[in-house]
Amino acid sequence: MITANDLIALVQNYNPKTDTDLITRAYDYGARMHDGQTRHSGEPYFTHPIAVAAILTEQQLDDATIVTALLHDTVEDTRSTFSEVESEFSTEIAELVDGVTKLTNLQLSSTETKQAENFRKLFMAMSKDLRVILVKLADRLHNMRTIKAMRPDKQQQKARETMDIYAPLAGRMGMQWMREELEDLSFRVLNTEARNSIIRRFITLQRETGDVIRKITTDMEAELDRAGIDAEVMGRAKKPHSIWRKMEAKKIGFSRLSDIYGFRILLNREEDCYAALGAVHRRWSAVPGRFKDYISQPKSNGYRSIHTTVSGRDGKRVEIQIRTREMHEVAEAGVAAHWSYRDGVPAENPFAVDPAKWIASLSERFDSADDHDEFLEHVKMEMYADQVFCFTPKGEVVKLPRGATPLDFAYMIHTRIGDSCVGAKVDGIRVPLWTRLRNGQSVDVMTAEGQRPQATWIDIVATGRAKAAIRRSLREENRERFIKLGRELIRVAFDHVGKRPTEKALKIAAKQLSIENGQEILARIGAAELTAREVIATLYPELARKTGEEIDVARAVVGLKPSQTFRRAACCQPVPGERIVGISYRGKGVIIHAIDCDVLAELEEDSDRWVDLHWQEGRHPAAHNVSIDITIANDSGVLGRICTLLGEQGANISDLVFIDRKPDFYRLIVDADLRDIGHLHAVMLALEADSDVSSLNRHRNLERKP
């Protein structure tokens, strides 16, 4: 285990003026708080915070961030409190630790609505102090490096979450080395055989061709030396996941993949970068369409570099990045370069971006999202976006994500331009609106008065900004029709319960549902985004529960043929209120799955077996079995209290199985009969609020397939 002196030595390598007393006190405090705790591997738990701190020293971060790494799990996992950390260290460090604790508690891979809300919280935490996410990324990196000690199902869950969220976030922040390592560690878990296959082929290739990297590096150094350019050349083979992604994208095998090596040329001055580019292109043929100049058009995270691909030895393609050493520091640290230290003072790198401005540029488009789905769509597009630079006819630069179209370009200039777009010219040639734009192209948008967005545009555009603007315009265009329809639907529904939908009632319902006003409620009902029953349930919850007969379980699903029978899939256990799809089986009728069930991915090719279904609207009986995975403290009375809580929520326990017994905790699967998704959420909330419940999840068993 790294000692306090070892850690201090790592910090002093780049910051000789570090506060050694502060780091020593934090080390001792963390060791004391975590004393007696162990990791899944059996190691002392404190080895993890120390390793996280060591990872952050590689990025040459300030003392506060290093101390936060040492303490990042204390408030969550020990008897330590925010106030104690604040008094022992500082308000700054206490707030950083608190920020990391809140991020740790976000379940970013949960259902879409909750995932969107958690992403909002993630970006709020980032906007307060970006160092919080730097500690969290280092925390996730060490967890992925040591993931083998976890259960296989937890490995899969963590790897998927890392691949979907943390790796792209690291890349978006400019920390490409961390993104690559996180992706590769996740790839090792998610597709072990594919990764091993690529490694085996690499070994075979090296045996056949020798040390290609050394040969090409020597060639480049000689060429640059002849041109009188002082440069450092570095080469490496790409990570297995990066190669796999290229193979998947291009639909080709390993043997046909040529650009599997990457090289960097580091120089002293910006003008040397262009001189080096000229020397490389004079010696080797440039591959058309594979040139990007991020020096003249830097990325929002401060990244600057020239990218080019050339045909090297034996016709093999070679990717080359050309940049100065200062640019390289930012390319390695990304946004974290703002906090980097050198010789005891913050490193003044002219290319490091202001984190506040970067997070503002990343999140500025999220505010326009009207609902959870749109917000989530915006976030994921921003996270994964690889930029394309295009020009207006006046020569102004417009940044767009890869895959963007002239319509995206139009909406990026102004919503009014996008709404009235009737066509576009790219490099002077008229093109369809669905054309994918490439780097360096000039785009001229043609508009016409009276033109309105079309519904088909949603599938054409690639940016969240354009999608949100189109949806908003379509809603406004149909608003009057939806309001009229919604008024009639809600009148009938209110008549059914003996009430009148007055303006005052609608105003109160709008406030309860966090909707702008009563007119918007009517519009959403008319657009099938909200049901009249939900409005009644909001205003008169007791009346909504008591009125109407319970729906027959045998007729709970709409969309089946008269002769078809159905049953719920055991793997995902869908309940009323969830989006569902049916899969027909010979001799078994129709099995209904939740729309997010992983089993459906295996059946994508059998579209003729899919049946469009939805649940009956109304009051369902508590007859839908759901499994809940719960870990509780092993204390007297806890299990009885949990059973009582379930009973108080009107949930009948149909089965209870202990799957793990430890001296301090029990883990069990509880099967409960519930009415619908709202009932499930109420049960989960009641259980989660109990202080003796340490973890709670809806249990999905993919081994129980139809």
Dihedral sign for Cα 326, 331, 334, 336, please. Answer: negative
As a whole number of angstroms, the distance between CA 670 and CA 649 comes to 14
Going by the DSSP 8-state scheme, the letter that residue 230 receives in this structure is: -
Residue 49 corresponds to which tokens in the numbers above? 């915070």
Helix (H, G, I), strand (E, B) or coil at 115: helix
**C-alpha torsion angle, residues 595, 597, 601, 607 (rounded to 10):** -40
As a whole number of angstroms, the distance between CA 402 and CA 618 comes to 45
Pairing of strands 566-568, 589-594: parallel
As a whole number of angstroms, the distance between CA 531 and CA 590 comes to 27
Helix/strand/coil percentages in the chain, nearest 5? 50, 15, 30
Residue 419 annotated as catalytic: no
- Angle value at C-alpha 625, between 553 and 686, nearest 5 degrees: 120
Pick the catalytic residue: 19, 77, 219, 270?
Answer: 77
Residue of 455, 409, 464 lying closest to 435 (CA atoms) = 409
As a whole number of angstroms, the distance between CA 318 and CA 296 comes to 22
The tokens 């949990």 sit on which residue?
642
Residue of 320, 239, 244 lying closest to 279 (CA atoms) = 320
Pick the catalytic residue: 21, 63, 73, 76?
Answer: 76
As a whole number of angstroms, the distance between CA 695 and CA 687 comes to 10
Residue 1 corresponds to which tokens in the numbers above? 């285990």
Helix (H, G, I), strand (E, B) or coil at 164: helix
From residue 262, alpha-carbon distances to 80, 152, 285, 336, 546 in Å are 47, 33, 16, 24, 68
Q: Residue 165 is which amino acid?
A: I
Long-range contacts of residues 354-359, Cβ cutoff 8 Å, at least 24 apart: 355/130, 356/127, 358/130, 358/300, 358/301, 358/302, 359/123, 359/126, 359/127, 359/130
Helix (H, G, I), strand (E, B) or coil at 238: coil
Residue 77 annotated as catalytic: yes
* Segment holding 28, helix H or strand E: helix 20-33
CB neighbours of 577 closer than 8 A, spacing ≥ 6?
615, 676, 677, 678
- Angle value at C-alpha 28, between 26 and 34, nearest 5 degrees: 100
The tokens 């790294």 sit on which residue?
2
Residue 328 corresponds to which tokens in the numbers above? 């390289």
Phi, psi of 594 (to 5 degrees): -65, 145
Q: Residue 188 is which amino acid?
A: R
Helix 131-145 × helix 152-161 angle, to 10°: 140
As a whole number of angstroms, the distance between CA 569 and CA 581 comes to 10
From residue 389, alpha-carbon distances to 6, 331, 398 in Å are 46, 19, 6
Catalytic site residues? Answer: 76-77
